[in-house]
Amino acid sequence: MYMSPLAFFKCLSDDTRLKSLLLIEAVGEACVCDLMEALTLDQPKISRHLAELRKCSIVQDERRGKWVYYRLHPDLPAWAREVLTSAAEHNPGYFQSALSRMKSVLSARCC
């Protein structure tokens, strides 16, 4: 899959989308309820941003029963994955509290 850097960075230009991606990258996959708890945002806002990330082909969704889980798109170019990995690695304070909440939610799995 070809993805232009401009399209990729435009998709990352929102705080909610970027943090969602960093969280998904850190834990492998997440559902809307996981991200709601981690980011302390409501369902419509999280869903809207995940839809944007799906349109950009950065995440892929999979329905399991009534829940939809999101993970990085398997065809995401290596350079784009490296950007996300590097951003997470070099800026842990940017999303650390959200990641802590995410891990807590995942251990109790709300969905």
What CATH code is carried by the domain that includes residue 98? 1.10.10.10
102 and 27 in contact (C-beta within 8 Å)? yes
pLDDT (tens digit per residue) in 28-83: 999 999 999 999 999 999 999 999 999 999 999 999 998 899 999 999 999 999 99
* DSSP code at position 111: -
Q: Where are the alpha helices (DSSP H) in 12-108?
A: 15-27, 32-39, 43-55, 78-90, 92-108
Q: Indicate the pTM of the whole model.
A: 0.92
Query: Residue 45 belongs to what domain range?
Result: 5-108
Chain centroid offset of residue 34 CA: 10
Number of folded domains in the chain? 1
pLDDT (tens digit per residue) in 3-14: 999 999 999 999
